[in-house]
Each structure stands twice: as C-alpha cells, then as structure tokens.
Chains A and B, each alone.
Chain A
C-alpha cells in the first residue's frame, strides 16, 4: 500500500481491542426469540418474515438515536435505536444485505472501532440475524497510512517492552532450572491485583501501592520457589512433570484470583487517562510514557545485573552449564532463588503496566498474554535473557502493526504463527545457539 494514500480509516484514541470498547451487543437469545420483540416502537418493515436486529451499547449503556440503514436486493430501509439501544429492520428476502451505522449519529468521541461502520450480513438457518458493531473511543479523522503505521509501531514498542519484562523472567527461570513456567501468567496477574489491593483496599497512594505490589510480586516469586519448586528439584522430579505442575499451579491460581475478585474488569487509578499528542502521529497517555520509561530503566538494570554483577554472571554461567557452574563453587540454589524473586518482581511489574495498557485488571489477564510471552522467549532463543528482550519487541510490534491489515480479533494469530515458524526454521531462536546431537 503506498504510504501517501489517504485512507478513510479512523484514528482511534486507544487502539486496543479491550480498551473501553464494547461491542454492540446482541444476545443469542435475542436473535432466537426475535419475534418477541415485535413490541418495538421503531421497527421498520415489520411485515416481512426476515429481520436484522441489534442492540447498540457503549460502555454497557444503551445508545439511543443511532441511525441504522439496510440496503440490498432493491430494498432500502432505515431506523434509529430506541431508548434501550435496540433496533430491528425487516427485509423482504432471505438474501445478503448491507447494514450501515451512521457514525455521525453516535455520541461525540465514539466511533465504530473495529470491522467498519458498514457490514454485509446474511441469514443463517433462521430468519433472524443479529448484526454487531464494535464501538470504541475515538474521533472520526482521516489519517494517512504511514501515520497509522508509525503510531502502531510505537504502541508495539511499548507493548513489547512490557512483554519483555515478563518474558525475561520466563527465560531466566528456563535457563537456570529448565522449567517452562506456565504459571508466569498468574505471576503477571498477581502484580496487577497486588497493585489494586494496595491502592484501593489499603487506600495507599498509587505510587507507593505499585511499588509495594512489585515487592509483593518478588516475594510471591520467592514463595513459589521455596514452597514448590525447590522441594520438587530436591525430589528430583523430571522437567516435563515440573512443567505440568506449573500448569496445575496456573489453573489453581487463576481460579483463586477469580474466587477473590470475580469476573469483572477493575481499574487502577489513572488508567485510561486522556492521551495527548507527543509528536506527529504519536499520542500517548501519561501512563504510557511512564510505562515506557520504567520498562526501559528496569530492562537496562536487568541487563547490567546480568553482565556486570557477580550474581548476574553466575546466573548466566548456570544457564550455560549448571553442573560446571556448581562444581566451580557457584551456589546454584541461591542463584535460582534470586532468579525466582526477580522473575516474580518483573512479572508483577509487567502486570501493573499491562493493567494500564489494556487498560483493566481481570482474573485471567495473564493467561491472555502467556502465549505471546512464550512466543517472545522462543523467538529470541530459549534461555537467553537478551533474546527474550529482542523477541518481545518483535512480537509486540508485530501484534500492533498487523492489526492494520487483519481484523483486530485475530491479531494475536500472527505472533502465534511466528512462534511455530521459528521452531520450524530456527528452533534455537534469533540469539540462541544451535543444538547439537549426540
């Protein structure tokens, strides 16, 4: 696509799927029992057997007075949503029609975020069909493709840095103990929840609360090692068993979180703040800027720790060759303990940053990015900390940029495909060393 070409794309203020955008929600029941809604005040074409219907909501509230039109097969009709946000248009034939939402009738700052304001719809087996529009925060402006690309690229870097925090933990643990830790996802969630706990339940100032949350996450990592992983290592449990134990742990923790916080999405103080333009097409919220700065500083710190400090060097030595490291007097257990603390703290920090980036805290939020973390670690090279950083940024950028070309609801697919392709072509990853047989 030529970059000069002007698209009628919308510049979304917050480009993530989950970001305050709620879909035009139509329940299956509504479609099935469409006949019951004949009491509709605004129903158009009620005389026909077939009908399209929908329910326009934004942030869980119905939106009234949105103009919806149906056209096709020589038929045109339009209606507006009622007080409950509902609309229904009857059509004469069981054929394909184009359904359009008039964006100018939406409230200010709300747009059709995904899938476009005009969709083609066809009936399934029944004579009723529900049509979804995804609404989001944003303004209707015309943005050039190159500007979108730059904006997405920047978002991707931000997302990638955040992934890197979680991925380095996975990578360090894998390097030193050989464990593919599925419960890393829950360590991410733990950080965000701890932040929520300190800031809303204990009413601490937000910065102190988040700092305490990172400390608590490190303590959580330590307790997992002391309570589970160290005893299992002592017991001589195999790596595959350990991996499955981590899956069990992941399941258990995930539902423990659900048990305590429920299924709703919660917000940290300051999440979803207004964005302002930095330069050119890039606009960020304050939390985005702080997030990037923190990520970069922390990652640089980890890099320094690995390269320059005694324990950091010991960590790398163990990743290279555990038995040699141990025979040369390195306290392997001590290093592994530190790695778990670090891994917990980094994952917790990633969780907090992600809670701002999404924005929102949910009981299974870690699980949503677990495979992206694995993809990043594998892409960079299993067990190499710097590989995890490189892999994370590539995955982050790829996920964000690819949503320019493919629907947002499958944007993670690209990252997962990369994961598979890397294993196919270069299983040792970008920075990993080639495996040797025999």
Chain B
C-alpha cells in the first residue's frame, strides 16, 4: 500500500476547491439554519444558480467572469425572494419541503432538453475558463510544497475561493455580534416573542434567506471554477452533505461550518484512499465499486449520530443549541 501517496492525496483535500465551495455553502446554511432557524433544504438549488448563472453568462452572452458571478448572485437573490414570500410565514417544516422541491425543479429545468441551447441539458457546460484565467495575476509555474503543489491556474481558483470564503465568514461574524444578529437569534427561538417587541420578523427572515442564498450561489461559482457545470451534481444529496458539514462543525458558530467542511472532505478523501486499498489487499471482502460506496453510508450514519448525540456540533455550545423543541 502506498501510505505516503494516500496521505498526500488526503492532505491535498484540505484546500481543494470542493472543500472551499462546500465551506462557503455551509457558512450560508449556518446563517439560514444555525442563526435564523430556517430549514433550508434547497442549498443545491442556490449552488446550481450560482454555477449556471456564471457559466451561461460567459458561454451564451460572452460576459466577463465577474459579471457571471454577479448574475449568479442576482439569480440566488430572486430565488430566495420567490421561495421566501410564500413560506416564511408558514411552519418551519413547510419551508423544508418547499425548498427541497424548488431545488429539484431547478435541477430538472437545468437537465431538460427544453433549454438545451443554454444549459446543454444533461451533459452540462464546460469551457468557460478563459475569462477567469485571463484575470489571473499569478505568473505561470508550479508553486507550493508537499501535497500542495499546484500550477498558477489551480492556485488562482483556490485563492479566489479563499477570498470569497473569508468575506462570507467576516460578514457572518459582523452580523452575528450586532443587534441584527441578536434579533435573528431571538426569532430562531420564538418569533412571536420578537414580533411582540416590534420587529418585522418576516423581513429579518427574508434577509437571512437572501444572505445565506447568495453565499450558496458563491459556493456554486467556486465549485464550477476549476471544472464543469453538470446538473447531476446538484441533487438533494449535495444539500444533505452540506447539512452534515454544518451540523458537524456547529450550526450556530462562525468557523464551525468551515472546519466542518475540512474535516468532512479529509475524512471522505481518506476513506476514498483507504477502503479501496484495503479491498485490493484482500483485507475487506468487497469489490472496488462497493469500496467507493461505503463512505457514503458512513456520511448518512454520521449525520444521524451527530444530530442525536451532539446536535450543537464540535464547536457549538450546548446552551446555544440550535434545535428548538
């Protein structure tokens, strides 16, 4: 077994674009669920809007990369408003069902042959990298050390992702120590009490939905930056993985979602390396395909165990428990 190769492979996931993208989405979801108590199960939809908004703006309209990002953000704001108007006044679990349904509608619309001209249907979109890469200030070459050796393009994606993540974290940190965040935490616990104190609960929830949604779209952009946009990525499982990350790190914490994403992907990468190796070596009596599936079973079990035994997450404070009974 190539232990060193496996370690290096696993370590590289600490700063992979996927890890960063999931972290940004998780920060967005922490605004929704952790601070505002909104059960958004449509994060995959917000991410799809970011990714497709970016790719379609560039491919179909020839706009520059930054305009693509703005389009993605704008689309997620509209999506959040459309979702929020009917559901934010209703019971919390209704929002869960509506958001999951809306995200699926988006995925079906991106998959259908009907809009093939723009979305390339199930095949997805690729080849939109030129504009973003042209803006790369890093001179060509290989940089880094150990498992983290990348060329200038890979670094540019990572650094840009980091910047977006840092902005998201900074915004959440500033918001949540402010009186605005206090109102939001009050709403999470008992919105009638906050309403009785003269706060427009609906507006606060809507603002939270929009902020988290825009973060979701940014996550979609970062997710799309290094590779391609394929509708099959934006399934409900994606949303559930982000939920696992948020609950793992601590939903009502600023850095929990970020650390959660790193832990999640490092463990996933480690399992992806170790289990097939064990299967190859004949230690585990399973096929290689089964070895690849096993880690997803662990995700599901982990999600259950976290929610039951440590709902506040690794970094969360039990007293600040998000789940209101």
Contact pattern, B 81-113, Cβ under 8 Å of A = 1, otherwise 0: 000001100111110111011101100110111
B97 contacts A407, C-beta separation under 8 Å: no
Query: Which of B112, B237, B305 contacts A407, CB < 8 Å?
Result: B112
Interface centre among B108, B300, B303 (most CB of A within 10 A): B300
Question: In the docked arrangement, what's the CA distance between A34 and B137, Å?
Answer: 34
- Residue A236 interfacial (CB < 8 Å): yes
A420 contacts B303, C-beta separation under 8 Å: no
Residues of A within 8 A of B101 (CB): 371, 374-375, 416, 419-420
The B interface is mostly helix, strand or loop, or mixed, namely: helix
A239 contacts B93, C-beta separation under 8 Å: yes
Query: Which of B39, B120, B293, B300 contacts A248, CB < 8 Å?
Result: B300
Question: In the docked arrangement, what's the CA distance between A125 and B87, Å?
Answer: 40
B97 contacts A115, C-beta separation under 8 Å: no
Interface centre among B244, B296, B307 (most CB of A within 10 A): B307
A251 contacts B237, C-beta separation under 8 Å: yes
- Residue B320 interfacial (CB < 8 Å): no
Closest approach, in angstroms, between the C-beta of A296 and any C-beta of chain B? 28
Closest approach, in angstroms, between the C-beta of A30 and any C-beta of chain B? 11
Closest approach, in angstroms, between the C-beta of B259 and any C-beta of chain A? 20
A249-B300, A413-B109, A420-B102 known; A241 and B59 CB under 8 Å?
A: no
- Residue B190 interfacial (CB < 8 Å): no
B325 contacts A238, C-beta separation under 8 Å: yes
A125 contacts B127, C-beta separation under 8 Å: yes
Q: Taking CB as reference atom, which chain B residue is nearest A247?
A: B240
A239-B93, A240-B323 known; A254 and B300 CB under 8 Å?
A: yes
Q: Kindly specify which of A140-148, A256-264, A268-276 makes contact with the partner chain.
A: A256-264
B93 contacts A124, C-beta separation under 8 Å: no
A250 contacts B300, C-beta separation under 8 Å: yes
Closest approach, in angstroms, between the C-beta of B271 and any C-beta of chain A? 12
Residues of B within 8 A of A438 (CB): 192
Question: In the docked arrangement, what's the CA distance between A258 and B289, Å?
Answer: 10
Residues of A within 8 A of B93 (CB): 180, 239-240, 243
Query: Which of A244, A249, A254 contacts B243, CB < 8 Å?
Result: A244
Residues of B within 8 A of A31 (CB): 123
Complex A-B, nearest 5 residue pairs according to Cβ-Cβ distance, in ascending order? A252-B300, A251-B300, A248-B303, A248-B304, A424-B86
Query: Which of A367, A409, A420 contacts B113, CB < 8 Å?
Result: A409
- Residue B324 interfacial (CB < 8 Å): yes
Closest approach, in angstroms, between the C-beta of A15 and any C-beta of chain B? 17
- Residue B7 interfacial (CB < 8 Å): no
B97 contacts A124, C-beta separation under 8 Å: no
- Residue A232 interfacial (CB < 8 Å): yes
Residues of A within 8 A of B94 (CB): 378, 423, 427
A245-B308, A248-B304, A249-B304 known; A115 and B113 CB under 8 Å?
A: yes
- 14 A-B pairs in the complex with CB atoms less than 8 angstroms apart: A122-B117, A240-B93, A244-B303, A248-B240, A248-B300, A251-B296, A252-B297, A255-B296, A371-B104, A410-B108, A416-B105, A417-B105, A419-B98, A423-B98
B293 contacts A258, C-beta separation under 8 Å: yes
Contact pattern, B 288-303, Cβ under 8 Å of A = 1, otherwise 0: 0110011011011111
Beyond known contacts A240-B92, A251-B303, A259-B297: 13 more, CB 8 A cutoff: A126-B127, A232-B308, A244-B243, A247-B243, A252-B303, A258-B296, A262-B289, A374-B101, A375-B101, A419-B98, A420-B102, A427-B90, A427-B94
Question: Chain A interface: which size bin?
Answer: 35 or more
- In A216-236, which residues have CB < 8 Å from any B CB? 228, 232, 235-236
- Residue A6 interfacial (CB < 8 Å): no
Q: Taking CB as reference atom, which chain B residue is nearest A122?
A: B117
Closest approach, in angstroms, between the C-beta of A26 and any C-beta of chain B? 8
Question: In the docked arrangement, what's the CA distance between A438 and B193, Å?
Answer: 12
Closest approach, in angstroms, between the C-beta of B84 and any C-beta of chain A? 11
A237 contacts B108, C-beta separation under 8 Å: no
Closest approach, in angstroms, between the C-beta of A173 and any C-beta of chain B? 13
Contact pattern, B 56-90, Cβ under 8 Å of A = 1, otherwise 0: 00010000000000000000000000000011001
Question: In the docked arrangement, what's the CA distance between A243 and B100, Å?
Answer: 13
- Residue A253 interfacial (CB < 8 Å): yes
- Residue B247 interfacial (CB < 8 Å): yes
- Residue A79 interfacial (CB < 8 Å): no
Question: In the docked arrangement, what's the CA distance between A423 and B111, Å?
Answer: 26
- In A109-129, which residues have CB < 8 Å from any B CB? 115, 122, 124-126
Query: Which of A244, A252, A253, A410 contacts B114, CB < 8 Å?
Result: A410
Question: In the docked arrangement, what's the CA distance between A259 and B288, Å?
Answer: 10
- Residue B311 interfacial (CB < 8 Å): yes
B59 contacts A124, C-beta separation under 8 Å: yes
- Residue A132 interfacial (CB < 8 Å): yes
Question: In the docked arrangement, what's the CA distance between A255 and B113, Å?
Answer: 29
Question: In the docked arrangement, what's the CA distance between A240 and B39, Å?
Answer: 9
Residues of A within 8 A of B127 (CB): 125-126
A238-B323, A241-B308 known; A374 and B108 CB under 8 Å?
A: no
Question: In the docked arrangement, what's the CA distance between A423 and B86, Å?
Answer: 7
Residues of B within 8 A of A262 (CB): 289
Question: In the docked arrangement, what's the CA distance between A32 and B267, Å?
Answer: 34
Closest approach, in angstroms, between the C-beta of B249 and any C-beta of chain A? 15
A251 contacts B240, C-beta separation under 8 Å: yes
Residues of A within 8 A of B244 (CB): 248
Q: Taking CB as reference atom, which chain B residue is nearest A239?
A: B93
B311 contacts A243, C-beta separation under 8 Å: no
Interface centre among A245, A255, A410 (most CB of B within 10 A): A255
Residues of A within 8 A of B293 (CB): 255, 258-259
Q: Taking CB as reference atom, which chain A residue is nearest B118?
A: A124
Contact pattern, B 104-141, Cβ under 8 Å of A = 1, otherwise 0: 11001101111001001001000100000000000000
A125 contacts B59, C-beta separation under 8 Å: yes
- Residue A412 interfacial (CB < 8 Å): yes
Question: In the docked arrangement, what's the CA distance between A243 and B323, Å?
Answer: 11
- Residue A28 interfacial (CB < 8 Å): yes
Question: In the docked arrangement, what's the CA distance between A395 and B22, Å?
Answer: 34
B112 contacts A409, C-beta separation under 8 Å: yes
- In A387-425, which residues have CB < 8 Å from any B CB? 407, 409-410, 412-413, 416-417, 419-420, 423-424
- In B274-325, which residues have CB < 8 Å from any A CB? 286, 289-290, 293-294, 296-297, 299-305, 307-308, 311, 323-325
Closest approach, in angstroms, between the C-beta of A190 and any C-beta of chain B? 15
Query: Which of A235, A240, A252 contacts B304, CB < 8 Å?
Result: A252
Residues of A within 8 A of B247 (CB): 244
B105 contacts A413, C-beta separation under 8 Å: yes
Closest approach, in angstroms, between the C-beta of A270 and any C-beta of chain B? 29
A248 contacts B113, C-beta separation under 8 Å: no
Question: In the docked arrangement, what's the CA distance between A413 and B112, Å?
Answer: 11
